[in-house]
């Protein structure tokens, strides 16, 4: 069937902010879909609240709406735009749920909008556990024994009938939100009461436990004439029980015989047919390792994280094809874009092994519960390709950027035997490393298999790696470091030179020299969907220590761009956004753009983004190999976040040309001392600070600077382990608990300036400096720039202040000879400007600012890097004229997914994503922003207040504001008394220790709609404050931990609602007047 | 254990180095590649590979070992096996022995550590190549010359076909399965449909078949060039129209020859589990399992009584035929799967229906 003629205008719904369980993969899918639809001459309308996405670039669609993804706003867009169809399957769970909502509200029918790809009933059949099970029964596909429940009691009854452990899974939630494994009654009660809250239809599934089964996924596609294919199957190394998003996954499956492979393949096709899906679909199975018995775990009737992975693993662009199928094409009419000559209606054949490892945020959230279960916790993932499983696995490990360059963790040998066994049994983020450690400690394979449930096939491979380590060690003797054959094997196993050097107590350089001498260098092979059966046209490469090199270089000038690796807190999709724009700019400028990255979720690793894609670890050795093969003009490191910046030094030392701001100046910004000297020379202030190497020094320094001070170790970036301390006691506690301080690891102590934080991104060409915009933060300094609401243009800065900021920015940019982007964070304290930090690279705010100012910043910066001056590009020096609209960037958090994480905002970044709100004035923009961020804005209701003494005075006016709007106030003793004094009626509630009903019950029972809670000093979780904040998160109650955010919300409410006020009293006067006449 | 170095030496003068596994002996054959990511046991035991040295494009082979059930014939007929890496520690609940033991047991040499993707690309560009696997010390040049001189075999069908007829009784339609090198899968599918199957040698005569008086004849898959077995073509020609026919793979090619069409050697053939085939009747595309180096030339169909029913989506080659007058049809691919997708099993039902219908017709006559 060819393209449908009756559809001309299509609305595409994006997936909104990045949250755990829904990350960059949907920007990749959405972008591909938009491109595919435009290719077909469709008019594309896009809505997404996430500004940090390529798909929301105005070039991607005919009209782009960055608006909240709520039925209300999207209906408005539908009424305005009158699209013929809506594509719901590319915006993840968010897009799907929203589409369902719109359909059920009848909006689609009213406006004559057709759901494309997959119709409503199919979506419901797949998403609603009850309908889904019914369907599976009907077509004879096995699902685990289970029961749908709507109350806790029902849950208990069923659980005790089939016996614990049982799995609890809420309907219509994402990444397993609210789900879990219950081993006994209490845990069941806890999990279920949670799950019911998270499920939009208050429905949970209680299910027979399949722990220990093999978890296998199939990515399937179907078109309108019923053709079905399997794009890829994947096997989780972690057995069922660990969420696929948190599992280490390999593709294709490794331990399935053809019989099992085809059995599950046929089941997948049967399912997608019965659901009549037109497009892509993900089917998850649990397969008994000891029989043919299998169960269908779930089906996602849409593109997913797994389909993005499958696309990158096979080269088959699922989202693109899904979009074309949605407008009527059948797969046999579509060409396979990789080969250009065969058709999309086939099943990719891999001739390599793909490994995906999730990236977890526990480096940031040291307090979080690291255990892995049925609820996803990873923020991102890396993928690696190799010709052997070992190679693929070790490449993936060093792609993670967790400091590991081998299957080995620092200090792992200190783990006790029993801890090791525990952590092998109950999976956490480091289990794969612990498996290796167990082998090093001489555990035998069976024992590890019994502890972990991991298939012996994979364990044997890991054991092989450990054995090889030992062989290499043993092989070292006086007259030779290592034998050529052994070195070759080590490289084919994916060992780094560094590790081999370690094992042979030689140097990385020596190993490298030996390799060169013995011709042990990697070749580059192509990912071509067809295992070389047909010539491929798309240059998508991976390295391997094999024989034939397929890399074809061209004589055109090339530029290499380094990507930013896995999505993590502090380095999110914003950096991929910039990377992609850099690549496009490079092409525009007439060079070949070569990209190196390892994140399967992103647009930058879409094979048709760059001229050549290298799916490789962003690890110096691997990067250098690509550069040797490509011989580029130079490398651009300023778009790949800290990942790329950190590689600059090594690259430069290897003689690679760094394009843009040069290394010396990057260093001048990154190195604290050099940076201080620089500011001095420019006589620009930074918060007074000291570097200390002992506890005593610290105490002294703090006293000299005066409390509060901000402390952080010098050796980690990204606000990690950064704390504000208010007195000596806290300081000592910090020095003992949080850091190890010594001359190698100094600690930085800064005076904490409680001022307005301002962020500026600028573009320079070495001499001219363009400042697209200044952003003012709602929250005061002390709340990480990534976690505070940024406002453009600034609302409270005087023109003089703007002046000053512009001048300083120009000065800094010029003295650092910035070529490209620079990001500067300032704090304005008592009308004086201080510089907090300078990042000589693209920043988190670049996409937002690009969108609100209309300046394609990454593009302009790249051209500047390539030598086109700003004037030549048509830009003048100084601050770009400000928009008359107000735009806000609101952070989005994933606290619901991360148990035991404190939600208080502080100098450590915690948000995973962002949304944008734009409107005529601040209040409206904020309103949109807050709504888009998922906040259920309470127009009226009850507010629970517990503020630290230090904040009480300041809090008064804010709380009074809510009070005047008619909010009922609840507070604990101290705060209550205080507020009453200020003349507000307050109902007192019990503190925790005062026994229930206490403050937590108030939240749990939904009595309060808003909580204002400011941090009482100390971070120890058992504190009431922490429990209150967590309770609020678990119960989806708005919880404001910064008075500034509270003030902003108040501002919004004041402008959209009315206060009830009595008339001023005139009566007495009137009475007098009347008296005269009586 | 230190393994012997081995070489795969090709007629185009290329020499690929690796290590020896399986049997330690020299072996000559036509080198072909299979793109299936699973199913090596079925491939190794598919008689259609008789005389060939097979390389798997997937780099890890032997992962799930060898089990008792997944044989497609009683023994492997490949002349050699080329892999990137073989698993010496397979893992699967059905696994009863590993790949290397299996090859040793049947005296088949293997070579591992070869850049199989390089080899595949070579075959893609030059077409299938004659080659030899060796662990000897002989000089490359000598062996290259030897390879060039040596002749590919022409009697594979005789080697793999059953010697004597045998019967698998059941109460369904009575079928004669002519074994040109039949995969177990075909028998399995027929038995699943309650067919009463008599398996007969490739050189059975029309007379012998008439004596059995079957409701239908199944022409099996098999190795090599259909033109190497003219006697088979003869038998089919005689029985066409008289008894319903269903041909698979080589059986399909023989049916075509018997109907006056012609076959030709392909550059490197179709071998794998991911080959899309279009059913011209309804436009539906099926992902099929394939293994053939020859195909029916479409041009040669003109003037015959054959209708083209299926084509390969990618290269347009003939994948299915049916006779315009007689109850007879055939496909180039493997509806019995094993290895590969099970999408086309319905063809066996079609065959059974055809026989039933035909019977009905006969009775009324
Ligand atoms: N019956 C079960 N027993 C044990 N673990 C299960 C069971 N069902 C699902 N799981 C685990 O929970 C994870 C999440 O379940 P899933 O239905 O896929 O939810 P989500 O929609 O979050 O992907 C799965 O990846 C699997 O590892
Ligand atoms: N001296 C200071 N006074 C007040 N707030 C500060 C100070 N130094 C840092 N901060 C706060 O900490 C946050 C993170 O500090 P920063 O140096 O930007 O680290 P990162 O590298 O994580 O961005 C800043 O956004 C700011 O809110
Ligand atoms: Mg899932
Ligand atoms: Mg910062």
The predicted-structure confidence for A900-930, as pLDDT tens digits, reads as follows 888 989 998 999 999 999 999 999 999 999 9
Q: Is beta strand B27-34 parallel, antiparallel or unpaired with respect to B129-134?
A: antiparallel
Residue A217 pLDDT > 90: yes
Distance A643 CA to ligand 4 centre (A): 15
Q: What is the DSSP letter of A95?
A: H
The finding on whether A687 has its CB within 6 A of some atom of ligand 2 is: yes
Residue A661 pLDDT > 80: yes
Residues A97 and A102: their CA atoms lie apart, in Å, by: 9
User: A658 with A820: CB under 8 angstroms?
Assistant: no
Q: What is the DSSP letter of B153?
A: P
Burial A458-491 (b: 16+ CB within 10 A, else e): bbbbbbbbbebbeebeebeeeeebbeeebbbbbb
Residues A946 and A960: their CA atoms lie apart, in Å, by: 14
What's the pLDDT tens digit per position in B214-232?
999 999 999 999 999 999 9
Span A2-31, average pLDDT: 95
Token pair listed for B136? 């000897």
| A185 φ/ψ angles, rounded to the nearest 5 degrees | -60, -50
User: B321 with B296: CB under 8 angstroms?
Assistant: yes
What's the pLDDT tens digit per position in A513-536?
999 999 999 999 999 999 999 999
Contact A531 B58 (CB under 8 A): yes
Write down the pLDDT at residue A717. Answer: 44
For A772, residues 6+ apart whose C-beta sits below 8 A from its C-beta are A761, A762, A763, A849, A850, A853, A855, A857, A880
Vertex B292, ends B289 and B296: CA angle to 5°? 110
Residues A1033 and A198: their CA atoms lie apart, in Å, by: 11
Query: A253-257, A974-978, B322-326: lowest mean pLDDT where?
Result: A974-978
Q: How confident is the model at residue B364 (pLDDT cuts 50, 70, 90)?
A: very low
Residue A114 is inside which H or E element, if any?
Answer: strand A114-115
CA distance A140 to chain B (A): 17
Point out the ligand 2 atom lying closest to the alpha carbon of residue A907.
12
Write down the pLDDT at residue A81. Answer: 97
Point out the ligand 1 atom lying closest to the alpha carbon of residue A238.
27
Beta-ladder partners of A19: A22
Query: A464-468, A561-565, A718-722: lowest mean pLDDT where?
Result: A718-722
| A391 φ/ψ angles, rounded to the nearest 5 degrees | -60, -45
Span A968-979, average pLDDT: 93
Residue A508 is inside which H or E element, if any?
Answer: helix A508-517
CB nearest to A532's CB, from B91, B120, B283: B120
Write down the pLDDT at residue A1071. Answer: 60
Write down the pLDDT at residue A262. Answer: 98
Distance A163 CA to ligand 1 centre (A): 18
Ligand nearest to the CA of A891: 2
Contact B118 A387 (CB under 8 A): no
Percent of chain A with pLDDT over 70: 97
Residues B255 and B17: their CA atoms lie apart, in Å, by: 42
Q: Which residues of B touch A533 (CB under 8 A)?
A: 33, 35, 57, 120, 124, 272
Ligand nearest to the CA of A827: 2
Is B334 catalytic? The answer is yes
Contact A535 B58 (CB under 8 A): no
Token pair listed for A583? 């690549």
DSSP alpha helix (H) spans, A426-475: 431-440, 445-452, 456-475
- The string of DSSP codes covering A45-76 is EEE-S-TTSGGGSTTTSSEEE----SHHHHHH
Residue A1077 pLDDT > 80: no
Is B50 catalytic? The answer is no
Residue B4 pLDDT > 70: yes
Residues of A (542-601) whose Cβ lies below 8 Å from B: 546-548, 550
Residues A636 and A582: their CA atoms lie apart, in Å, by: 9
User: A491 with A482: CB under 8 angstroms?
Assistant: no
Residues of A (339-358) whose Cβ lies below 8 Å from B: 341-343, 345-353
A1021 vs B: CB within 8 A: no
Q: Which residues of A touch B35 (CB under 8 A)?
A: 349, 351, 530-531, 533
The closest alpha carbon to B226, from B303, B332, B299, belongs to B332
Q: How confident is the model at residue A560 (pLDDT cuts 50, 70, 90)?
A: very high
The finding on whether A847 has its CB within 6 A of some atom of ligand 1 is: no
Residue list, CB under 5 A from ion ligand 4: A 785, 825
The finding on whether A361 has its CB within 6 A of some atom of ligand 1 is: no
Residue B307 is inside which H or E element, if any?
Answer: strand B306-312
CB nearest to A226's CB, from B69, B284, B342: B284
Distance A907 CA to ligand 2 centre (A): 6
Point out the ligand 1 atom lying closest to the alpha carbon of residue A373.
12
Contact B84 A457 (CB under 8 A): no
Span B180-201, average pLDDT: 98
**Residue that is written with structure tokens 């491929």 in the block:** A536
Token pair listed for A597? 């990255």
What's the pLDDT tens digit per position in A319-359?
999 999 999 999 999 999 999 989 999 999 999 999 999 99
Span A202-213, average pLDDT: 92
Query: A473-487, A708-722, B111-125, B287-301: lowest mean pLDDT where?
Result: A708-722
Residues B4 and B137: their CA atoms lie apart, in Å, by: 11
Residue B365 pLDDT > 50: no
What's the pLDDT tens digit per position in A381-435?
999 999 999 999 999 999 999 999 999 998 899 999 999 999 999 999 999 999 9
Distance A373 CA to ligand 2 centre (A): 34
Interface test with A, best of B314, B339, B342, B346 (most A CBs within 10 A): B314
The closest alpha carbon to A97, from A386, A264, A401, A301, belongs to A301
The closest alpha carbon to B289, from A259, A139, A294, A232, belongs to A259
Angstrom distances, CA of residue A699 to CA of A18, A724, A803, A868, B363:
40, 14, 38, 51, 107
Residues of A (403-462) whose Cβ lies below 8 Å from B: 455-457, 460
Residues A360 and A358: their CA atoms lie apart, in Å, by: 6
Interface test with A, best of B46, B274, B290, B317 (most A CBs within 10 A): B274
What is the model's pTM? 0.96
Beta-ladder partners of A776: A758, A791
Write down the pLDDT at residue A1024. Answer: 82
Write down the pLDDT at residue A720. Answer: 57
Distance A711 CA to ligand 2 centre (A): 10
Percent of chain B with pLDDT over 70: 98
Residue A867 is inside which H or E element, if any?
Answer: none
Residue A253 pLDDT > 60: yes
Residue A932 pLDDT > 50: yes
What's the pLDDT tens digit per position in B238-276?
999 999 999 999 999 999 999 999 999 999 999 999 999
Residues A754 and A708: their CA atoms lie apart, in Å, by: 9
Residue A149 pLDDT > 50: yes
A519 vs B: CB within 8 A: no
Write down the pLDDT at residue A2. Answer: 82
DSSP alpha helix (H) spans, A106-172: 107-110, 120-127, 129-139, 152-162
A820 vs B: CB within 8 A: no
Write down the pLDDT at residue A718. Answer: 40
Span A257-266, average pLDDT: 98
Residue A644 pLDDT > 50: yes
Task: Judge residue B92's burial from the number of C-beta atoms within 10 Å of its C-beta, 0-12 exposed, 13-18 middle, 19 or more buried.
Answer: buried
Residue B309 is inside which H or E element, if any?
Answer: strand B306-312
- The string of DSSP codes covering B80-146 is EEE-SEE-SS---TT--B-HHHHHHHTT-EEEES--HHHHHHHHHHH-SEEEEEE-S---HHHHHHH
Residues A33 and A27: their CA atoms lie apart, in Å, by: 10
User: B330 with B296: CB under 8 angstroms?
Assistant: no
The closest alpha carbon to A919, from A815, A791, A1006, belongs to A791
Token pair listed for A1038? 């708005």
Residues making up chain A, counted from first to last: 1078
Number of H helices, E strands in chain A: 36, 40
Find the catalytic residue in B42, B79, B195, B249.
B249
Angstrom distances, CA of residue A75 to CA of A40, A79, A101, A102, B134:
25, 6, 10, 7, 72
CB nearest to A258's CB, from B42, B91, B124: B42
Beta-ladder partners of A205: A148, A169
Q: How confident is the model at residue B302 (pLDDT cuts 50, 70, 90)?
A: very high
Residues A466 and A408: their CA atoms lie apart, in Å, by: 10
Span A262-271, average pLDDT: 98
What's the pLDDT tens digit per position in A700-746?
999 999 999 999 887 654 445 788 999 999 899 888 877 777 787 88
Span A618-627, average pLDDT: 98
Beta-sheet strand order (sheet of A228-236): A294-300, A279-287, A214-222, A228-236, A249-251, A353-359, A380-386
For A755, residues 6+ apart whose C-beta sits below 8 A from its C-beta are A780, A781, A827, A828, A829, A830, A834
Span B46-75, average pLDDT: 97
Residue A1018 pLDDT > 60: no
């Amino acid at each position: 069937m060819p393209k449908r003629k009756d559809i001309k205008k299509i609305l595409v719904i994006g997936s909104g902010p990045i949250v755990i369980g829904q990350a960059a993969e949907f920007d990749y899918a959405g972008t591909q879909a938009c491109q595919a639809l435009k290719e077909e001459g469709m008019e594309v309308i896009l809505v997404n609240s996430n500004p940090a996405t390529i798909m929301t670039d105005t070039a991607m669609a005919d009209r782009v709406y960055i608006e909240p993804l709520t039925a209300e706003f999207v209906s408005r867009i539908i009424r305005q735009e009158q699209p013929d169809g809506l594509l719901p399957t590319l915006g993840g769970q968010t897009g799907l749920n929203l589409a369902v909502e719109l359909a059920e509200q009848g909006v689609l029918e009213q406006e004559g909008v057709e759901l494309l790809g997959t119709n409503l009933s199919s979506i419901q059949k797949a998403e609603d556990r009850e309908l889904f099970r019914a369907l599976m029964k009907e077509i004879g596909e096995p699902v685990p024994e289970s029961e749908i429940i709507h109350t806790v009691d029902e849950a208990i009854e069923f659980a005790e009938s089939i016996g614990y452990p049982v799995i609890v899974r809420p309907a219509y939630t994402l990444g397993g939100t609210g789900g879990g494994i219950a081993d006994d009654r209490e845990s069941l009660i806890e999990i279920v009461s949670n799950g019911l809250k998270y499920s939009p239809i208050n429905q949970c599934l209680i299910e027979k436990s399949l722990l220990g089964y093999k978890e296998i996924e199939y990515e399937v596609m179907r078109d309108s004439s019923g053709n079905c294919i399997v794009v890829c199957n994947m096997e989780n190394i972690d057995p069922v029980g660990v969420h696929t998003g948190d599992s280490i996954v390999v593709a294709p499956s490794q331990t399935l015989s053809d019989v099992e492979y085809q059995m599950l393949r046929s089941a997948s096709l049967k399912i997608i047919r019965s659901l009549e899906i037109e497009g892509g679909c993900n089917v998850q199975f649990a397969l008994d390792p000891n029989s043919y018995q299998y169960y269908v775990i779930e089906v996602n009737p849409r593109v997913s994280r797994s389909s993005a992975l499958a696309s990158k693993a096979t080269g088959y662009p699922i989202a693109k094809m899904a979009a074309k199928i949605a407008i009527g094409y059948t797969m046999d009419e579509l060409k396979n874009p990789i080969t250009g000559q065969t058709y999309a209606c086939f099943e990719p054949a891999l001739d390599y092994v793909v490994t995906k490892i999730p990236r977890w945020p526990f480096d940031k959230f040291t307090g979080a519960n690291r255990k892995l279960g049925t609820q996803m916790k990873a923020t991102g993932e890396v993928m690696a390709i190799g010709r052997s499983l070992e190679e693929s696995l070790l490449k993936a490990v060093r792609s993670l950027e967790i400091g590991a360059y081998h299957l080995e963790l620092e200090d792992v040998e200190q783990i006790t035997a029993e801890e090791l066994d525990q952590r092998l049994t109950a999976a956490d983020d480091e289990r794969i490393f612990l498996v290796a450690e167990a082998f090093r400690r001489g555990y035998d394979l069976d024992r590890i298999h019994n502890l972990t449930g991991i298939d012996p096939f994979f364990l044997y491979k890991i054991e092989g790696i450990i054995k090889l380590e030992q062989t290499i060690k043993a092989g070292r003797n006086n007259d030779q470091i290592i034998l050529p054959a052994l070195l070759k094997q080590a490289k084919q196993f994916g060992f780094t030179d560094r590790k081999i050097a370690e094992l042979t107590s030689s140097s990385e350089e020596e190993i490298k020299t030996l390799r060169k001498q013995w011709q042990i260098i990697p070749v580059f092979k192509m990912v071509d969907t067809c295992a070389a059966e047909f010539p491929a046209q798309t240059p998508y490469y991976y390295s391997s220590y094999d024989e034939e090199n397929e890399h074809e270089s061209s004589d055109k000038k090339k530029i290499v761009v380094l990507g930013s690796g896995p999505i993590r807190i502090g380095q999110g999709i914003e950096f991929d956004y910039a990377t992609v724009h850099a690549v496009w700019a490079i092409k525009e400028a007439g060079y070949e753009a070569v990209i190196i990255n390892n994140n399967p979720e992103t647009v930058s690793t879409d094979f048709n983004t760059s001229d050549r894609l290298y799916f490789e670890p962003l690890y110096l050795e691997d990067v250098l190999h690509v550069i040797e093969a490509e011989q580029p003009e130079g490398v651009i490191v300023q778009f790949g976040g800290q990942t790329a910046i950190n590689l600059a030094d090594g690259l430069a030392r290897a003689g690679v040309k760094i394009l843009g701001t040069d290394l010396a100046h990057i260093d001048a910004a990154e190195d604290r001392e050099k940076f201080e000297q620089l500011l001095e020379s420019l006589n620009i202030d930074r918060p007074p600070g000291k570097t200390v190497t002992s506890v005593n020094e610290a105490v002294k320094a703090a006293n000299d600077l005066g409390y509060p001070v901000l402390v952080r170790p010098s050796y980690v970036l990204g606000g990690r382990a950064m704390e504000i301390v208010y007195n000596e006691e806290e300081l000592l506690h910090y020095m003992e608990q949080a850091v190890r301080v010594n001359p190698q690891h100094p600690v930085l102590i800064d005076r904490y300036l409680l001022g307005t934080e301002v962020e500026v991104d600028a573009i320079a060409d070495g001499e001219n400096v363009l400042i697209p915009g200044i952003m003012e933060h709602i929250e005061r300094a002390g709340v990480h720039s990534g976690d505070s609401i940024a406002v453009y243009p600034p609302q409270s800065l005087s023109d003089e202040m703007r002046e000053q900021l512009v001048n300083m920015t120009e000065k800094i940019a010029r003295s650092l000879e910035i070529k490209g982007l620079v990001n500067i964070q300032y704090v304005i304290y008592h009308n004086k400007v201080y510089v907090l930090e300078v990042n000589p690279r693209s920043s988190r705010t670049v996409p937002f600012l690009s969108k609100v100012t209309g300046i394609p910043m990454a593009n302009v910066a790249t051209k500047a890097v390539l030598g086109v001056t700003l004037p030549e590009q048509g830009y003048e020096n100084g601050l770009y004229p400000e928009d008359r609209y107000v735009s806000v960037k609101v952070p989005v958090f994933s606290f619901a997914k991360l148990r035991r994480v404190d939600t208080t905002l502080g100098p450590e970044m915690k948000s995973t994503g962002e949304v944008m709100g734009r409107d005529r004035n601040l209040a409206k923009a904020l309103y949109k922003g807050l709504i888009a961020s998922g906040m259920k804005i309470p127009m009226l209701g009850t507010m629970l207040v517990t503020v630290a003494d230090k904040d009480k005075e300041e809090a008064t006016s804010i709380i009074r504001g809510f009070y005047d709007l008619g909010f009922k106030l609840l507070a604990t003793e101290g705060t209550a008394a205080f507020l009453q004094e200020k003349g507000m009626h307050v109902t007192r509630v019990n503190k925790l220790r005062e026994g229930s009903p206490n403050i937590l019950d108030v939240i749990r029972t939904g009595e309060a709609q808003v909580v204002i809670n400011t941090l009482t000093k100390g971070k120890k979780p058992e504190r009431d404050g922490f429990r209150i904040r967590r309770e609020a998160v678990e119960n989806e109650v708005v919880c404001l931990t910064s008075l500034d955010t509270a003030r902003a919300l108040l501002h919004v409410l004041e402008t959209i609602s009315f206060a009830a006020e009595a008339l001023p009293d005139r009566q007495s006067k009137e009475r007098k007047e009347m008296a005269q006449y009586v | 254990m230190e393994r012997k170095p081995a070489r795969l030496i090709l007629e185009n003068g290329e020499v690929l180095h690796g290590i020896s596994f399986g049997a330690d002996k020299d072996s000559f054959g036509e080198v072909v590649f299979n793109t299936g990511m699973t199913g090596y046991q079925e491939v190794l035991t598919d008689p259609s590979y008789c005389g060939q040295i097979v390389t798997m494009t997937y780099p890890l082979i032997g992962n799930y070992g060898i089990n008792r059930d997944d044989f497609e014939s009683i023994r492997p007929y490949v002349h050699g096996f080329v892999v990137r890496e073989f698993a010496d520690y397979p893992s699967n609940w059905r696994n009863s022995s590993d790949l290397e033991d299996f090859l040793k047991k049947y005296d088949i040499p293997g070579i591992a550590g070869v850049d199989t993707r390089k080899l595949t690309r070579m075959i893609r560009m030059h077409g299938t190549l004659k080659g030899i696997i060796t662990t000897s010390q002989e000089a490359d040049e000598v062996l290259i010359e030897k390879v060039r001189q040596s002749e590919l075999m022409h009697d594979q069908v005789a080697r793999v076909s059953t010697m004597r007829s045998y019967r698998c009784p059941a109460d369904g339609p009575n079928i004669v399965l002519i074994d040109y090198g039949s995969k177990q899968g075909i028998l399995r599918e027929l038995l699943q449909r309650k067919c009463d199957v008599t398996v007969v040698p490739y050189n059975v005569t029309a007379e012998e078949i008439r004596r059995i008086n079957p409701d239908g004849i199944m022409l099996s898959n098999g190795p090599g060039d259909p033109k190497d077995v003219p006697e088979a073509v003869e038998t089919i020609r005689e029985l066409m129209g008289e008894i319903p026919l269903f041909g698979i793979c080589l059986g399909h090619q023989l049916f075509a020859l018997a109907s006056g069409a012609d076959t030709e050697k392909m550059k490197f053939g179709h071998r794998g589990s991911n080959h899309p085939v279009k059913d011209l009747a309804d436009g539906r595309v099926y992902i099929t399992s394939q293994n053939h180096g020859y195909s029916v030339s479409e041009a040669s169909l003109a003037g015959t009584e054959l209708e083209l029913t299926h084509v390969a989506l990618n290269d347009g080659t003939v994948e299915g035929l049916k006779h315009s007058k007689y109850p007879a049809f055939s496909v180039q691919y493997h509806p019995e799967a094993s290895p590969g997708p099970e999408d086309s099993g319905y063809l066996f039902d079609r065959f059974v229906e055809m026989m039933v219908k035909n019977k009905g017709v006969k009775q009324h006559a």
